[in-house]
Amino acid sequence: MTRQWDSDDALLAELHGATHRPGPPADAIRRAGHAAFRFRTAGTGRVIAGLTYDSALDGAGAVRGDEPGGRRALTFTAAEMSVEVELADGRVIGQLIPPVAAEVQLLTVTGSAGESTADSLGCFVLPRPGSGPARFKCVVGDQVVYTDWVSI
Partner 1 sequence: MGAATTDVETLVSAACAGDEAAWQDLVDRYVPLVRSILMGFRLSAADAEDVSQMVWLRLVEHLDDLRQPRALPSWLATTTRNECYRLVKANQRSTPVDPTTGAVDSVAADESDEGLLARERKQALLAALAELDEAERGLLLLLAADPPLSYQEISRRTGRPPGSIGPTRGRLLRKLRSAPALRGLSMAGDDECAHGGERCDATVG
Footprint of partner 1 (CB under 8 A):
1-2, 5, 8, 11-26, 28-30, 32-37, 39-42, 48, 50-54, 56-57, 62-63, 66-67, 75, 77, 109, 133, 146, 148-151
Q: In the bound complex, what is the minimum distance in angstroms from residue 59's beta carbon to partner 1?
A: 9
| Closest CB to partner 1 among residues 72, 124 | 72
- Secondary structure E strands in the chain: 46-54, 72-77, 82-87, 91-97, 102-108, 111-118, 123-127, 133-140, 143-147, 150-151
Phi, psi of 130 (to 5 degrees): -65, 170
Q: In the bound complex, what is the minimum distance in angstroms from residue 48's beta carbon to partner 1?
A: 5
| Closest CB to partner 1 among residues 3, 120 | 3
Look up residue 30 and give its amino acid.
R
